[in-house]
Amino acid sequence: MRGHKGKRHGEMEPRHPLPERGWVQFLLLMVINEHPMHGYQLNEELEKRGLVKKDRFKTGSLYTILNRMEQHGSLASTQEESETGRTRRVYSITEHGRERLKTGLEYMLRRKRFLDKIERYYRVHFPEPHTNGEKEDV
């Protein structure tokens, strides 16, 4: 498989340092790293923090992502009983998931430093007109 060196057939590993399906998985790792949560709780937390738009996930799609992340070793889950007596799956981050999160954060910090350099160049070579002290929202 192209870009998947050192893996046996059927094992998928992305070519980039971010989680296997991009931003949503990365954001899930960030939240779950703080403490284990069940799917509904994760969805609420992502929305509350403004990390995803309200109603971003269709019923079941978040669970599909969480299950895929568990299959790839970034998450582990346990069955727990809720206050209402229903069982629910609670997800926690694995050591592999923490390493993926750390690697992704390091990658983003390097990218941010690069973009900061680009912004400084822009500010020097294309100065903005005076805006009466108002700052642009970035």
pLDDT in tens, 75-90: 999 999 888 888 999 9
Model pTM? 0.70
Contacts 24+ apart (CB under 8 A), 67-71: 68/20, 68/21, 69/19, 69/20, 69/25, 69/28, 69/29, 69/97
Q: List, in sequence order, every beta strand (DSSP E) within the chain.
A: 37-38, 75-81, 87-93
Max avg pLDDT among 5-19, 20-34, 93-107: 93-107
- Model pLDDT, residue 103: 93
Give 59's pLDDT tier (boundaries 50, 70, 90): low
Does domain 23-123 fall under CATH 1.10.10.10? My reply is yes
**Mean pLDDT, range 34-51, rounded to an integer:** 92
Domain ranges of the chain: 23-123
The yes-or-no verdict on residue 17 having pLDDT over 60 is no
- What's the whole-number average pLDDT of the chain? 82
The yes-or-no verdict on residue 132 having pLDDT over 50 is yes
pLDDT top residue among 117 and 130? 117
